[in-house]
């Protein structure tokens, strides 16, 4: 459930000069990037411009973050290209319709998730997967921009064979295009320290001047070409039922990566400024933006980090900055559209490479190696994108992440507890050998939530310890790590209780959550009657004859440390 919205500051409530300045500043970045990202997606330039209008308008009106800029992103563009090219035997027009269908279904997924209030489910993709995916994706995007820079087109499009093909064709490289892209990168990097300067727009203007004067043609450098915008006929893509069904999985993957990227950007800047945001509201806003973009055959949209960061750095105080940027872009498109067609391809490639440059740093993965946690997940995400492609690599990385999660939950680790000194604290005897175990008592604490993947193995480990313990009188099972039990875990617990009874050992369940207590009250098992799970604490459970009636609510729920 989303936290209640905090009262916005006066600056955040009343857009003013700061939002006007920020909107004008970021417009100079957003328009060139929109055209450039269209190339990543393999779509005509207008697809990115349409997506830009849809994202800025809808999120500016209905979103919750005052900094987020919703537009086409490099990652979603790459995923869209991978998704549409994964369907064999389609022509360019059908591929355009398939792309719009994916964006439409992704928008529907967002809207359904927002209505169902699934905004809290914002971490389906683990951070190591996202960071590894971002690094692999950035490398892929950079390599795939090089054919536009060098004016060569290798036969293969996968990462390694494309890189090998580029190297093999070195004699045919267009050095003028390479020099233009390199100069643009230097200029973009140099002007990056002044966030209010529209560096990308300045680069585009310089390139247009070169192309208009015939220099680009003389150097063998291609331009973007004509851009046509038509907002008069919104329409749903004309696809048959089989095609719509085949797009469902692709659209779900698109929605996942869009939301993971957007939520990361929105949350980062909200925490930085102490703002509150509504995840469910943002799901609806992202859904509406993608639906609107799809109706005009635009690209998928999300809250990209680079554009949102630029908006914050430009001094934005409210969502009005995004709407101002949209109006500035609209004026530029209406008046300068014929000129934008003269933009040289190497300059767009340089803008893309500069935009993904912040994710090219392998140091982002360093903490996982220092912490010795999730290193394999991060590396698998990088390798999967490079070896399998963007879409399959993302799905493979998510799959590995979920498998490792299940492996962690499937552990059979059980701690055996003892009493620490004269206190009422019960701790793991493996870590605290000085802890004393009461005579004739075993106290077990499963260290993972019990569920179908580990219940039988956990209870098998406990039974083995019982069999090896002579003169056992009482078995205490602490369920503090299990907020709920599924059907398999309940059956395993019933079997375990029957086993303990046959061994003539008294069973007590301690630290049982309220939901589990309610559940056990419904279980028809003679071995799991109310006194068995009545003790609140381990200390209550180990006291001889200290079973507490279930109706006794006078005892507080004590909290025990977990060293």
* Residue (of 82, 27, 35, 50) closest to 393 by Cα position: 82
Tell me, what's the pLDDT at 196? 66
Tell me, what's the pLDDT at 281? 93
pTM for the whole structure: 0.73
Residues in the chain with pLDDT values less than 50: 1-13, 546-563
Tell me, what's the pLDDT at 123? 60
Q: Give per-residue pLDDT as tens, 362-414.
A: 888 889 899 888 888 889 889 988 998 887 887 787 787 778 777 777 777 89
Tell me, what's the pLDDT at 15? 54
Tell me, what's the pLDDT at 121? 65
Taking phi over 0 as left and psi of -120 to 50 as alpha, with beta for the rest, 379 belongs to alpha
Average pLDDT, the chain: 85
Contact 150, 177 (CB under 8 A): yes
Tell me, what's the pLDDT at 550? 34
Taking phi over 0 as left and psi of -120 to 50 as alpha, with beta for the rest, 331 belongs to alpha
Tell me, what's the pLDDT at 285? 95
Beta bridge partners of 414: 446
CA 144 → CA 153, 164, 413, distances in Å? 10, 12, 47
Q: Where are any strands of DSSP class E within 236-346?
A: 302-303
Tell me, what's the pLDDT at 558? 38
**Six-digit token string for 204:** 């585009």
Tell me, what's the pLDDT at 186? 93
Residue 478, φ and ψ in degrees, nearest 5: -90, 120
Question: HSE of 525 in the Cβ direction (CA atoms, 13 Å)?
Answer: 23
Query: What whole-number distance in Å separates Cα of residue 82 and Cα of residue 34?
Result: 18
- Give 300's contacts (C-beta < 8 A, 6+ positions apart): 51, 72, 73, 76, 77, 79, 80, 102, 103, 106, 254, 258, 290, 293
Residue 119, φ and ψ in degrees, nearest 5: -60, -30
Tell me, what's the pLDDT at 561? 40
Tell me, what's the pLDDT at 560? 43
Tell me, what's the pLDDT at 547? 44
Q: Give per-residue pLDDT as tens, 433-482.
A: 998 888 899 999 999 899 988 999 999 999 999 999 988 999 999 999 99
CA 9 → CA 13, 14, 308, distances in Å? 6, 9, 19
Tell me, what's the pLDDT at 57? 94
């Amino acid at each position: 459930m989303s936290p209640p919205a905090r009262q916005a500051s006066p600056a955040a409530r009343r857009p003013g000069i700061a939002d006007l300045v920020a909107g004008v500043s970021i417009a100079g970045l957003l328009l060139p990037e929109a055209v450039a990202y269209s190339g990543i997606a393999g779509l005509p330039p207008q697809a990115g411009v349409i997506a830009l209008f849809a994202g800025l308008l809808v999120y500016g009106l209905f979103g919750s973050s005052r900094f987020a800029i919703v537009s086409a992103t490099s990652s979603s563009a790459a995923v869209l290209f991978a998704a549409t090219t994964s369907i064999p035997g389609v022509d360019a027009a059908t591929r355009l319709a398939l792309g719009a269908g994916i964006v439409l279904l992704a928008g529907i997924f967002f809207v359904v998730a927002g209505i169902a209030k699934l905004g809290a489910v914002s971490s389906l993709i683990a951070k190591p997967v996202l960071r590894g995916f971002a690094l692999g994706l950035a490398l892929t995007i950079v390599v795939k921009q090089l054919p536009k820079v060098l004016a060569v087109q290798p036969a293969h499009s996968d990462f390694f064979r494309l890189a090998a093909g580029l190297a093999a064709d070195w004699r045919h490289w267009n050095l003028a295009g390479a020099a233009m892209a390199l100069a643009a990168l230097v200029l973009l990097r140099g002007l990056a320290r002044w966030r209010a300067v529209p560096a990308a727009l300045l680069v585009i203007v310089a390139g247009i001047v070169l192309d208009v004067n015939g220099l680009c043609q003389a150097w063998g450098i291609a331009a973007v070409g004509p851009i046509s915008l038509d907002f008069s006929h919104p329409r749903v893509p004309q696809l048959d039922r089989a095609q719509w069904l085949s797009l469902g999985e692709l659209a779900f993957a698109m929605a996942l990566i869009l939301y993971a990227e957007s939520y990361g950007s929105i949350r980062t800047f909200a925490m930085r400024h102490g703002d509150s945001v509504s995840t469910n509201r943002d799901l609806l806003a992202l859904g509406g933006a993608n639906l609107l973009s799809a109706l005009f055959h635009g690209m998928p949209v999300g809250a990209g980090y680079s554009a949102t960061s630029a908006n914050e750095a430009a001094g934005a105080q409210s969502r009005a900055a995004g709407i101002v940027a949209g109006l500035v872009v609209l004026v530029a498109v209406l008046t300068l559209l014929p000129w934008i067609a003269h933009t040289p391809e190497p300059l767009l490639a340089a803008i893309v490479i500069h935009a993904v440059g912040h994710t090219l740093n392998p140091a982002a993965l360093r903490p996982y190696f220092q912490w010795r946690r999730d290193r394999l997940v991060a590396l698998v995400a990088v390798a999967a994108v490079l070896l399998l492609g963007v879409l399959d690599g993302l799905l493979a990385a998510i799959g590995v992440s979920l498998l490792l999660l299940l492996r962690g939950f499937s552990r059979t680790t059980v701690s055996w507890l003892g009493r620490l000194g004269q206190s009422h604290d019960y701790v793991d005897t493996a870590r605290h050998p000085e802890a004393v175990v009461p005579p004739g008592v075993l106290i077990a604490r499963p260290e993972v939530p019990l569920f179908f993947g580990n219940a039988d193995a956990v209870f098998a480990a406990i039974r083995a310890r019982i069999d090896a313990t002579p003169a056992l009188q009482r078995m205490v099972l602490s369920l503090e790590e299990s907020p709920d039990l599924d059907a398999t875990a309940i059956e395993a617990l019933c079997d375990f209780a029957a086993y303990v009874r046959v061994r003539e050992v008294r069973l007590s369940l301690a630290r049982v959550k309220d939901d589990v207590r309610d559940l056990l009250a419904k279980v028809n098992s003679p071995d799991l009657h109310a006194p068995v799970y009545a003790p609140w604490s381990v200390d209550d459970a180990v006291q001889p004859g200290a079973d507490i009636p279930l109706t006794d609510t006078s005892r507080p729920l004590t909290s025990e440390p977990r060293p």
